[in-house]
């Protein structure tokens, strides 16, 4: 993290959260591409959309708050 931004707990936790998300995405894509998607099926399941949205907003809230963007 040297030279990218001043280190602090918020930035470190945010970077870790984003890195874990990208790691999961890459692994999922690797698994699907290894067999060309053969033999995979989609299964519907309930998810906690509120928790998912809260997690996403928590990840980027400070960046949005510090920016000059208006929503």
The residue with greater pLDDT, 3 or 27, is 27
**What gap in Å lies between CA 12 and CA 54, rounded to an integer?**
19
Q: Which tens digit of pLDDT belongs to each residue from 31-64?
A: 877 766 567 777 899 999 999 899 888 888 877 7
**What gap in Å lies between CA 6 and CA 20, rounded to an integer?**
21
Worst-scoring range by mean pLDDT, 1-5, 17-21, 49-53?
1-5
Mean pLDDT of the chain: 80
The residue with greater pLDDT, 29 or 63, is 29
Rg (CA), the chain: 17
| Distant-in-sequence, close-in-space partners of 14: CB < 8 Å, separation ≥ 6 | 59, 62
Give the per-residue pLDDT at 46.
93
């Amino acid at each position: 993290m040297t030279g990218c931004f001043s280190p602090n707990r918020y930035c470190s936790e945010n970077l870790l959260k984003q890195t874990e998300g990208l790691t999961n995405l890459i692994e999922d894509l690797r698994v699907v591409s290894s067999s060309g998607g053969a033999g995979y099926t989609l299964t519907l399941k309930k998810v906690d959309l509120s928790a998912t949205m809260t997690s996403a907003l928590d990840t980027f809230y400070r960046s949005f708050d510090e920016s000059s963007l208006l929503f």
